[in-house]
């Protein structure tokens, strides 16, 4: 007699495995992750790969988070975020960027900039709509457009323009289904800062064609060239926002994060600033995704946004020193040509004179010199032939790492 349990088991094991979604399989894996995986096998490597501050959050920020836990501030919150956090974000934006927003209707707490970008896209594009992305770009931009069913249209960031955004190139890419353009200044991976006059021209293009500007401003305080950093209440020059251009406040969604500014990458906290009609949609979508943002992170975030800026100033000075080290070490190198960064904490280096493509260059640099860099092609096709260096780490490893990189490149050049 057949055992019914055995028959069921055998039948089940022979059944076809359920298929995975094509929309998931089509999403590209981050090229940065490939480098991280290789670095783990070289434990003594000097890494220029990690795009985060080497520091951690200032004590007053950590204290605020700990206090929230002790006092039981650990429950669900309004999907827009706590009132304290929203008011802190609006106050900071007015103080640092000169932009005014309503804490009740035009700001929303988010779990970091990546989810904020997704929410912004989900609110303004339908399947088949096009989104313009200047390339090279942060690795999640194209994937997030695809997750929303959108179509990516890239425009090149040109070395002859210092890799800054360009209004004419953006306008040339606009078609009948273009709904948004993603802007990033200071830029990752290039460190480029787009000046206000060019942002105004981009604003005119957006207004003329009815296109949303989604502005990723997570590196806004890290702009170099100013010396006005003597006061703990002044962070000196910051990158301009396209929301300040004429007619663009109502056409712009600002994506902000505390990760870079306040060294809070692991806290996963940021905010959106946008017209009320946008926030109505992004908050509705967010509530279905996560109910609310981490209450402890918001308590710490409010302390960061309201508190002293001396920690930010110290990081900015540190990045400026590391930036100078890299540029000085590569100043007369025959085979490496850095594009001078104006902001963030990245430098984009042209490696084509070495005779290697950027992926091979990075793999061999890690294997032979124990230095990790990210291939430019990980940031889109326009990044091919370049590598990204993050200079947020300690000074001496930065100096030693770039010297090893130069030695490796000159050896190839010979």
Number of domains in the chain: 2
* Gap between the Cα atoms of 261 and 256, Å rounded: 10
The model's pLDDT over 367-397, given as tens digits with 9 standing for 90+, comes to 999 999 999 999 999 999 999 999 999 999 9
- Over range 131-135, report the average pLDDT: 98
Question: For 72-93, b where at least 16 C-beta lie within 10 A, e where not — what string?
Answer: ebeeebebbbbebbbbbbbebb
Report the residue count for the chain.
414
* Gap between the Cα atoms of 274 and 252, Å rounded: 6
Q: Is 281 a member of any domain?
A: yes
Indicate the pLDDT class of residue 3, thresholds 50, 70 and 90: low
Q: C-alpha distances in angstroms, 10 versus 4, 5, 16, 284?
A: 10, 9, 12, 46
The model's pLDDT over 153-178, given as tens digits with 9 standing for 90+, comes to 999 999 989 999 999 999 999 999 99
* Gap between the Cα atoms of 131 and 360, Å rounded: 31
The verdict on 292 and 393 lying in the same domain is: no
The verdict on 92 and 224 lying in the same domain is: yes
The verdict on 234 and 376 lying in the same domain is: no
Q: Is 394 a member of any domain?
A: yes
* Gap between the Cα atoms of 65 and 78, Å rounded: 18
Token pair 């001496």 is at which residue? 396
The verdict on 64 and 123 lying in the same domain is: yes
Q: Is 12 a member of any domain?
A: no
Using DSSP, state whether 64 is helix, strand or coil. helix
Percent of the chain residues past pLDDT 70, beyond the cut: 94
The verdict on 360 and 396 lying in the same domain is: yes
Q: Taking the CB of residue 321, how many other CB atoms lie within 10 A of it? A: 11
- Type and span of the H or E element at 306: helix 295-306
Beta strands in 136-218 (DSSP E): 151-156, 178-184, 212-216
Angle at CA of residue 413, ends 410 and 414, nearest 5°: 95
pLDDT at res. 407: 97
207's tokens? 């207004």
Q: Is 15 a member of any domain?
A: no
Final residue belonging to a domain, choices 280, 308, 336? 308
Q: What is the pTM of this model?
A: 0.93
Domain of 365 in residue numbering reads as: 28-56+311-413
250's tokens? 């109502």
């Amino acid at each position: 007699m057949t055992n019914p349990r055995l028959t069921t088991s055998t039948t089940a094991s022979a059944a076809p495995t359920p298929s995975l979604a094509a929309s998931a399989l089509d999403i590209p894996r981050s090229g940065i992750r490939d480098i991280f995986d290789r670095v783990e096998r070289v434990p003594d490597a000097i890494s220029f790969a990690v795009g985060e501050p080497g520091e951690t959050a200032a004590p007053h920020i950590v204290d605020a988070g700990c206090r929230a836990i002790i006092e039981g501030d650990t429950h669900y919150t309004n999907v827009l975020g706590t009132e304290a956090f929203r008011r802190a974000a609006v106050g900071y934006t007015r103080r640092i960027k000169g932009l005014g927003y309503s804490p009740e209707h035009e700001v929303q707490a988010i779990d970091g900039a990546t989810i904020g970008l997704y929410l912004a896209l989900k609110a303004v594009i339908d399947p088949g709509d096009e989104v313009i992305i200047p390339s090279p770009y942060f690795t999640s931009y194209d994937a997030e457009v695809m997750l929303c069913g959108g179509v990516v249209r890239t425009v090149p960031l040109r070395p002859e323009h210092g890799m800054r955004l360009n209004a004419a190139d953006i306008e040339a890419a606009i078609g009948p289904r273009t709904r948004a353009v993603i802007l990033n200044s200071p830029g990752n991976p290039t460190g480029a800062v787009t000046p206000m006059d060019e942002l105004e021209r981009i604003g005119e293009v957006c207004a003329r064609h009815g296109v949303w500007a989604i502005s990723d401003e997570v590196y806004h305080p890290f702009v170099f060239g100013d010396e006005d950093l003597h006061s703990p209440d002044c962070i000196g020059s910051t990158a301009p926002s396209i929301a300040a251009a004429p007619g663009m406040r109502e056409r712009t969604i600002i994506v902000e994060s505390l990760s870079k500014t306040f060294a809070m990458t692991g806290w996963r906290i940021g905010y959106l600033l946008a017209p009320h009609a946008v926030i109505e949609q992004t908050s509705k979508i967010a509530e279905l995704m996560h109910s609310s943002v981490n209450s402890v992170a918001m308590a710490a975030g409010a302390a960061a946004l309201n508190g002293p800026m001396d920690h930010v100033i110290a990081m900015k000075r540190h990045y400026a020193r590391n930036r100078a080290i890299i540029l000085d070490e590569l100043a007369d190198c025959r085979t490496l040509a850095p594009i001078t960064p104006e902001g963030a904490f990245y430098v984009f280096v042209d490696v084509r004179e070495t005779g290697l493509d950027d992926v091979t260059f990075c793999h061999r640099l890690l294997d032979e010199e124990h230095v990790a860099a990210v291939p430019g092609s990980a940031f889109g096709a326009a990044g091919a032939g370049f590598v990204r260096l993050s200079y947020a780490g300690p000074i001496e490893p930065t100096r030693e790492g770039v010297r090893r990189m130069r030695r490796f490149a000159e050896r190839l050049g010979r």
